[in-house]
Each structure stands twice: as C-alpha cells, then as structure tokens.
Structure 1
C-alpha cells in the first residue's frame, strides 16, 4: 500500500464519523445506522423503488434491504405503495419525515464543515477545494469496482 493510500484509508473513516457525530449533536438528529441512511438517500435521489431495485442500487442482498425497510417503516421514514400498472409490485418511497431529516442533516453538516474549514488558512481551503474533483473520481472508481 502506498503512503497516500494508507493515509487516505486511515483518515476517511474518522473524518466521516467526526462529521456525523458533530452533525447529530448540533442538529439533535437521531442515530440512524449508515445503512438506513443509504436507503433513504437512494430513495430521495431515485424516487420510489421496489425493494429489489433498492438492493441492486446499494449492491446488497434483498434480505438485508427487507430488514432495513422494516426498521425504517416502523420509524415512519419510508412509505409503501403499489405500482399503478401492476398491483403486485411494492414501491418504497421516503416519507416527508425522512426528507426533512435528510434536509436537516445536510444543512447542519454543511454548517459544521464550514466552521471547521473557516479555521484553516485560505491556502489550505483552496487545496482542499482543488482535491474535491479528484476525491469524486476516486469515489466513482471505487463504486464501479463493486
């Protein structure tokens, strides 16, 4: 492993967890497991989907999605419906409560990051900004590997 790969691997988990902890604390947000948040993100970006489509989008087993949906439904974060063309096909959508929760999370996490970035010099912020497109490419590459 190269030193860049080692440092990036060591940094990304704590960075993500730090953002999450600070955001949850500041926004008084619930402690949803990452897997549940991923389901909600897929539903808000792609619209109503069947459980099979959610599993495919997340590249997880259908049984995993089924368990996640049970928890999300009991928390009022997803709603079930059926397709107009085939009443046997269940469609899952993010509830208004889930959409509000994600919106709050996004705005609070942006504020948390803005405050931390403000403590850096302008040159340091510029370096982070310049690295963002490369991090996005890296993320896309990793997604394609699965």
Structure 2
C-alpha cells in the first residue's frame, strides 16, 4: 500500500476506470483506449481476473471475442482507492502556501480541458516536437 492506497498497480487502475460503473469492453478496445499492446492488455486482464477484479463473459456480438467487466470486489477496491487518494491529495494541497493554492485553483480549468480532450482522442505516438514545446521555445 502506497501512502494508504490499496496496492493495485496504476495500469490496472486505468483498466478498472475504463470499465466503471458497469461497462463491458473487449480487451482490444481497452488496449486501444489505453494505448497498450495486445499482450500487455492480455497480461493485465489475466492478473486482474486472478485477483478477482474483473470477470470475463462471451461477447454476444462477436463469438470470437470475450468481454471484460468489473467485479463487486473491484468496485469496492476502487472506492477505497479513491477515498484514500482524495484524502492524500487534500492533505498535500493543505500544506501548500496560499500562493501555491491559488496557482493550483487557477490551473484547474485548463487541466480539465486537457483531460477532456485526451479522453476523446485516440492514443497515438507523441510527435517529434509538440505545439507546447514550440510555444515555450518562442
């Protein structure tokens, strides 16, 4: 456990979040969403199934594939994880100076926009030079 957080690897947390609250996805779809190779997703899902975090079921739309979904244990673990992470974050934010807290507050809308854009974008390899880097070079 890291600082009160359940010991679920970050990659598994990302998979679990894609399946919240009651979604079922193919491993291929999960891999696409997360930008992960098929063997990586296969290994993640196998480990998570072994630990009781996900279950598999037949894909009625495509008999050649399986669907992966959360178990009740996974939902419970995520709730504990989120509560511990929130508590940790609140504590860290409270330790910031008032100037630092204002900076964080001011940047939050921009971070929310970036997150929304990332969630609606297919993963792709990073460009050689990003627009952000170009802007900071000016």
Could you say which TM-score interval applies, normalised by the shorter chain? 0.7 to 0.9
> Which has the larger share of helix?
1
Match of 1:6 in 2: none
- What is the TM-score normalised by the length of structure 2? 0.73
Match of 2:70 in 1: 94
Superposition pairs for residues 25-40 of structure 1, below 5 Å? 25-27=3-5, 29-30=6-7, 32-40=8-16
Aligned length: 122
After superposition, give the CA deviation of every residue in 1:91-118 in whole Å (9 maximum; x if it has no partner).
1001111111111111111111112222
- Across the aligned residues of Structure 1 and Structure 2, the Cα RMSD in angstroms comes to 2.5
The yes-or-no answer on 1:51 pairing with 2:27 is yes
Match of 1:69 among 32, 45, 55: 45
Q: Which runs of 5+ in 2 are unaligned?
A: 125-138
Match of 2:96 among 109, 117, 120: 120
- What is the TM-score normalised by the length of structure 1? 0.70
Contact 2:31/2:37 (CA < 8 Å) preserved in 1? yes
